[in-house]
Amino acid sequence: MKKYLFFIFYLFIFFSANAQEINSTVNTKYLRPSLTTLFFQPKNSAEKVIVNKMAGLPVINKFDDNRINFNYFSTQTTNENQKKAEMLRYVELASNPILAKWWNRDQNGDFNADFVSKRGGYSAIDADVIQANASKTNRIEMIGAELIGKSYVFLYQIAEVLTMEQVYDKKDAINRQYSNYKPVARDDEGYEVSYNVYAYKLNFNDSVAAVFYNDYWTDAQNHNAQKVSKWSTATFPMAYKTSYRETIRSTQPKDPKSSAYLSKKKKSMNELLEDAAVIIQSKSVEELGMKLEDFKAVVSVFKTKPLSAKLGTKESLYIDQRFFVYEIEMDANGNQNKVRKGVARVKEIADNNTTATGTTKPSVFQQQGGKKLYEGMLMESKEDRGFLFSAGYNSSASDMSVGGINLAIDYRISRISKVPGLAFGIDFRINPMSDVNPGNNGITNGIDNFSGFTYAFDLNCSKEMYFTRKGNIFVKPSIGVGYMSYYFTSSDDSSILFTVPDPDDNSKTIHNKDYEWSSIYVPLTFSLGINLSPNLVLFVKPGYLVKFATTTGNGGNLVPSGNYTDNWGFDKLDILSGKTTLTFNLSYRF
């Protein structure tokens, strides 16, 4: 019976691979990938701590766990091409225990389909269950055979581990060549780790499956000692897919009295090394997930009111994860093409971390632009990095000191906060002043005109809120706290010194702080956003800004009187005042 079951698996693989039409078709089925992690030989004790920790970490939930016990990779060559060839040979040797795990090879050398069947059942979605219930063939078990072709190997190389003291030493060594050298602040302890990760995929196509079945398959009912012996040298082709390199830090403040330790205890240096392993794992999966098609979740729209699809915790969905929604169209040559109809982000995540029953609860999505969507359309994950960069102009008729050219960047923190649309941002404005009269305020005399510029920046928190079905338009309220400054650089009075000696170093000069006035402000905005495309957003951002009293750079008070140029806020330098603003921005999501 087991042999017959495997034969069905084999035929399923063979005909699935060879029953392709001449015309191209769009892949509409998501097959859960599996992951094996392998490592370069650690060069020292610090690298060994990281590698040991990574080897023991559970595989991230979106993957089936294909961890194996396998030797470290080691090479002596400095030739890059030879190194790549040796790496490929190494992972091909690992294909033997990977396939042994897939086919549940026992101590006698016999295979069986129990493990493949189990994974097929776990990977199946409701549509597979419904289709299987209407079929005489157990198609759920057959899915397991397809999953073998989604077996990935990540080969990690820890390139360099530096303590923060070594990092600071390197920075100081570079900075010493400059005349204004100052030692860097050595506030943190921990590690900076550089690493590479290389991704490979098992090529288990129909011809490879045929070799496996004909040359190596043996089971308890038909034990074949010759095939068991032959298996020890068996290897299978692996394809190099992509690579990624990065430098991360795992640090903490040196000072044990730091506010960072109010809610957590100070970690040992060994614990910081182990934290680096966790960061490397999550960062690698995130970055390679954007490069590898098999890692992108694919599913059909289940319902449109609300927009929902049967993915969830099993696929490691996260709040605000982006999906494109496509309609599949046929061209004149009979080829299928994906035509994007909309963009959606995850709003509510269903717990589907069980075997599908046909009645799994779907996750809910928020459409964020596009056209009307229909049930059955194709959804595919297209993750971005969570940044929104904006550029535009900020107009303030009541106070141009907080107007001018506007640059801003937001970072979506919804993945951490679990609140859809939540973001943290930095807003910067700059506006030139030419021949303005600041009035008589204790510093300026009310007679001379001054030139320079104003600048302002604030930290803010915002939330995108959608009320329409298509999501082409949304609102985005925000609140923050900021700092603004009048920075004067010239005047009618040529005797005024705008540059003075630095009191800390007479060989240097600084800007005269009497002519650098600053204040704190609180910005409140209620933006209207229009999604022009998945990446482009147009913002119209009316706001109200509460500006506190202004002081000089030396802490001196400013009391306005006399004549002054209107609309620059010179009339209310000494009091709390409110300002209206209107910003027009074109923004880019990435």
Which one-letter DSSP state was computed for residue 370?
E
Give the integer Cα–Cα distance in Å for 544 and 572. Answer: 16
Give the integer Cα–Cα distance in Å for 191 and 276. Answer: 8
Give the integer Cα–Cα distance in Å for 588 and 590. Answer: 7
pLDDT at 121: 82
The reported pTM is 0.86
**Contact (CB, 8 A) for 26 and 339:** no
For the purposes of burial, counting CB atoms within 10 Å of the CB of 494, is it exposed (0-12), middle (13-18) or buried (19 or more)?
Answer: exposed
Q: Which amino acid is at 405?
A: I
Give the integer Cα–Cα distance in Å for 254 and 455. Answer: 34
pLDDT at 131: 66
Give the integer Cα–Cα distance in Å for 429 and 536. Answer: 21
Q: Which amino acid is at 352?
A: N
pLDDT at 355: 79
300: enclosing H helix or E strand: strand 298-300
Give the integer Cα–Cα distance in Å for 326 and 339. Answer: 5
**Local mean pLDDT, 10-residue blocks, the chain (590 residues):** 48 44 71 96 97 95 94 94 96 98 95 89 72 61 84 98 96 88 92 98 93 94 94 96 97 88 89 97 94 93 96 95 95 90 97 83 96 96 96 86 95 96 97 96 94 97 96 98 97 94 85 96 97 96 95 94 92 93 96
Q: Which amino acid is at 552?
A: T
For the purposes of burial, counting CB atoms within 10 Å of the CB of 590, is it exposed (0-12), middle (13-18) or buried (19 or more)?
Answer: exposed
- Two structure tokens written together for 47: 């690298």
